[in-house]
Structure 1
Amino acid sequence: LGRREKAIGDEHLLLALTARPGVVSETLADHGVTYTTVEHALDRARD
Protein backbone atom coordinates (compact mmCIF):
# COMPACT_ATOMS: atom_id res chain seq x y z
CA LEU A 1 0.00 0.00 0.00
CA GLY A 2 3.03 2.19 -0.23
CA ARG A 3 1.87 3.12 -3.71
CA ARG A 4 -0.86 5.36 -2.20
CA GLU A 5 -3.63 2.82 -2.64
CA LYS A 6 -6.40 1.87 -0.25
CA ALA A 7 -6.67 -1.87 -0.93
CA ILE A 8 -4.45 -4.83 -1.66
CA GLY A 9 -4.90 -6.09 -5.21
CA ASP A 10 -3.39 -8.72 -7.48
CA GLU A 11 -0.68 -6.28 -8.49
CA HIS A 12 0.51 -6.07 -4.89
CA LEU A 13 0.79 -9.84 -4.72
CA LEU A 14 2.82 -9.87 -7.94
CA LEU A 15 5.12 -7.18 -6.56
CA ALA A 16 5.57 -9.21 -3.36
CA LEU A 17 6.40 -12.36 -5.34
CA THR A 18 9.11 -10.52 -7.24
CA ALA A 19 10.52 -8.54 -4.30
CA ARG A 20 12.63 -11.26 -2.66
CA PRO A 21 15.04 -13.83 -4.07
CA GLY A 22 13.65 -17.32 -4.40
CA VAL A 23 12.24 -19.93 -6.74
CA VAL A 24 9.15 -17.89 -7.62
CA SER A 25 10.98 -14.65 -8.35
CA GLU A 26 13.64 -16.52 -10.34
CA THR A 27 11.00 -18.33 -12.41
CA LEU A 28 9.17 -15.07 -13.10
CA ALA A 29 12.46 -13.36 -13.99
CA ASP A 30 13.18 -16.13 -16.50
CA HIS A 31 10.03 -14.90 -18.26
CA GLY A 32 10.96 -11.22 -18.00
CA VAL A 33 8.84 -10.45 -14.95
CA THR A 34 10.87 -8.63 -12.31
CA TYR A 35 10.00 -6.18 -9.55
CA THR A 36 11.15 -3.34 -11.78
CA THR A 37 9.18 -4.44 -14.85
CA VAL A 38 6.02 -4.92 -12.77
CA GLU A 39 6.50 -1.53 -11.12
CA HIS A 40 6.95 0.19 -14.50
CA ALA A 41 3.91 -1.58 -15.96
CA LEU A 42 1.77 -0.48 -13.01
CA ASP A 43 3.00 3.10 -13.32
CA ARG A 44 2.14 3.13 -17.05
CA ALA A 45 -1.29 1.62 -16.38
CA ARG A 46 -2.10 4.37 -13.89
CA ASP A 47 -1.16 7.21 -16.27
Structure 2
Amino acid sequence: MGMTPRSPIFSLFALSLAVTILSSFSMARTIPSSALDQLDFYRPDKTL
Protein backbone atom coordinates (compact mmCIF):
# COMPACT_ATOMS: atom_id res chain seq x y z
CA MET A 1 0.00 0.00 0.00
CA GLY A 2 2.93 2.34 0.68
CA MET A 3 4.47 1.75 -2.76
CA THR A 4 3.77 4.59 -5.20
CA PRO A 5 3.66 3.73 -8.90
CA ARG A 6 6.50 5.48 -10.73
CA SER A 7 5.18 5.00 -14.27
CA PRO A 8 2.44 7.43 -15.35
CA ILE A 9 0.92 4.70 -17.53
CA PHE A 10 0.24 2.52 -14.49
CA SER A 11 -1.28 5.42 -12.55
CA LEU A 12 -3.45 6.34 -15.55
CA PHE A 13 -4.55 2.70 -15.84
CA ALA A 14 -5.37 2.56 -12.13
CA LEU A 15 -7.32 5.82 -12.36
CA SER A 16 -9.33 4.64 -15.38
CA LEU A 17 -9.95 1.31 -13.65
CA ALA A 18 -11.23 3.08 -10.53
CA VAL A 19 -13.49 5.33 -12.62
CA THR A 20 -14.83 2.29 -14.51
CA ILE A 21 -15.54 0.41 -11.27
CA LEU A 22 -17.24 3.43 -9.69
CA SER A 23 -19.37 4.12 -12.79
CA SER A 24 -20.39 0.46 -13.11
CA PHE A 25 -21.20 0.35 -9.39
CA SER A 26 -23.37 3.46 -9.63
CA MET A 27 -25.11 2.09 -12.73
CA ALA A 28 -25.67 -1.23 -10.95
CA ARG A 29 -27.14 0.66 -8.00
CA THR A 30 -29.57 2.83 -9.99
CA ILE A 31 -30.86 0.65 -12.83
CA PRO A 32 -31.72 -2.67 -11.07
CA SER A 33 -33.24 -0.80 -8.12
CA SER A 34 -35.82 0.83 -10.41
CA ALA A 35 -36.30 -2.46 -12.25
CA LEU A 36 -36.84 -4.27 -8.95
CA ASP A 37 -39.28 -1.57 -7.87
CA GLN A 38 -41.27 -2.13 -11.07
CA LEU A 39 -41.16 -5.89 -10.54
CA ASP A 40 -42.37 -5.47 -6.96
CA PHE A 41 -45.09 -3.13 -8.20
CA TYR A 42 -46.34 -5.59 -10.82
CA ARG A 43 -46.03 -8.64 -8.57
CA PRO A 44 -49.52 -9.59 -7.27
CA ASP A 45 -48.43 -11.21 -4.00
CA LYS A 46 -46.57 -8.07 -2.87
CA THR A 47 -49.82 -6.09 -2.66
CA LEU A 48 -51.33 -8.41 -0.05
- TM-score range relative to shorter protein: 0.3 to 0.5
Greater helix share, structure number: 2
**TM-score using structure 2 length:** 0.33
Larger radius of gyration: 2
Tell me: higher relative CO, structure 1 or 2? Use CA pairs within 8 A at least 6 residues apart: 1
Return the TM-score normalized by structure 1: 0.33
